């Protein structure tokens, strides 16, 4: 699915939902409460409100086909730590497989937990890349069809998430240079930093056990079939930006039953 088609679909989706996507459902989970964060659609963007200090996960659930999900947080690839680009490695999902991606991949057995934190303490800012803090990206690739004899049984539901092998990335060509910093992104970050509360970024948290293994995956196309983009900030800032509408509290009436009149007919 092209970006243009994705934007067209976004316009007809409810303004308040829990998951985003067509080829896969993508949502953000507050791991400390177990709650799926509500997704708000505002001015062409999807937003979620994070709690400073909370650990979170990106839940991805494939619909009906095997997919590669190249995933980024704050403009950084969560598997390799490189400035994110579509051709890089990601996670492979079997049809209808769901998994909560909970951190930066440190090895085949560990991740560093995603945590909502201030922009200066975010992993992207600490590694000199602060311009794209505040966004989660998932680029989805369909698999190139294989002959029937090469078909494989799906793993059991409890199987760990799988990482695309280097061969799949190499087939796309040489790695591209990191893009120049975008002036618009910098201006947007400054606007977020001037909001009522400090803007949120994603930190490099505690080490956690999270096994993975490398598998083969040949992309059907060089460009992603769908790109999902979810932005995040604190609830206070999203209210100030108009992303989350403010509900006016009911004004109490000191004389709620002071209607003028006479005895009504039975």
Q: Each residue of 95-125: pLDDT tens digit?
A: 999 999 999 999 999 999 999 999 999 999 9
**pLDDT mean over 255-260:** 71
C-alpha–C-alpha distance, residues 220 and 1, integer Å: 12
User: Which of 82, 78, 80 minimizes the C-alpha distance to 179?
Assistant: 82
* pTM of structure: 0.73
What confidence score (pLDDT) does residue 188 get?
59
What does the pLDDT look like over 15-62, one tens digit per residue? 346 889 999 999 999 999 999 999 999 999 999 999 999 999 999 999
Domain extents for the chain? 3-240
> Are the C-beta atoms of 122 and 203 separated by less than 8 Å?
yes
Report the pLDDT value the prediction gives residue 155, as an integer from 0 to 100. 52
Q: How many helices (H) and strands (E) does the chain have?
A: 5, 17
Count of CB atoms situated within 10 Å of the CB of 118: 17
pLDDT tens sequence across 146-202: 777 555 555 543 333 434 443 333 223 222 323 333 445 555 555 555 567 789 999
Give CA–CA dist 28/5, Å, rounded.
23
């Amino acid at each position: 699915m092209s970006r243009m088609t994705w934007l067209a679909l976004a316009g007809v989706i409810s303004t308040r939902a829990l998951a985003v996507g067509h080829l896969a459902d993508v949502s953000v989970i507050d791991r400390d409460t177990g709650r799926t964060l509500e997704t708000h659609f505002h001015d062409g963007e999807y937003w979620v409100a994070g709690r400073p200090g909370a650990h979170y996960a990106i839940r991805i659930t494939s619909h009906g086909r095997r997919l590669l999900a190249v995933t980024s947080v704050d403009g950084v690839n969560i598997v390799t730590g490189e400035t994110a680009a579509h051709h890089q490695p990601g996670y492979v999902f079997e049809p209808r497989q769901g998994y909560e991606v909970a951190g930066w991949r440190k090895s085949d057995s560990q991740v560093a937990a995603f945590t909502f934190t201030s922009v200066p303490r975010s992993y992207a800012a600490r590694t000199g890349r602060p311009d794209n803090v505040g966004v989660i990206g998932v680029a989805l690739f369909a698999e190139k069809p294989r002959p029937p004899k090469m078909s494989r049984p799906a793993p059991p539901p409890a199987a760990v998430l799988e990482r695309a092998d280097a061969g799949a990335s190499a087939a796309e060509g040489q790695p591209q240079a990191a893009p120049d910093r975008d002036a618009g992104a910098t201006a947007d970050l400054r606007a977020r930093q001037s909001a009522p509360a400090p803007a949120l970024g994603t930190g490099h948290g505690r080490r956690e056990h999270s096994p993975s293994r490398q598998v083969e995956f040949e992309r059907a196309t060089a460009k992603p079939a769908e790109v999902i983009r979810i932005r995040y900030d604190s609830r206070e800032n999203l209210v100030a930006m108009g992303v989350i509408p403010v509900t006016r509290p009911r004004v109490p009436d000191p004389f709620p039953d002071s209607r003028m009149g006479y005895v009504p007919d039975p």
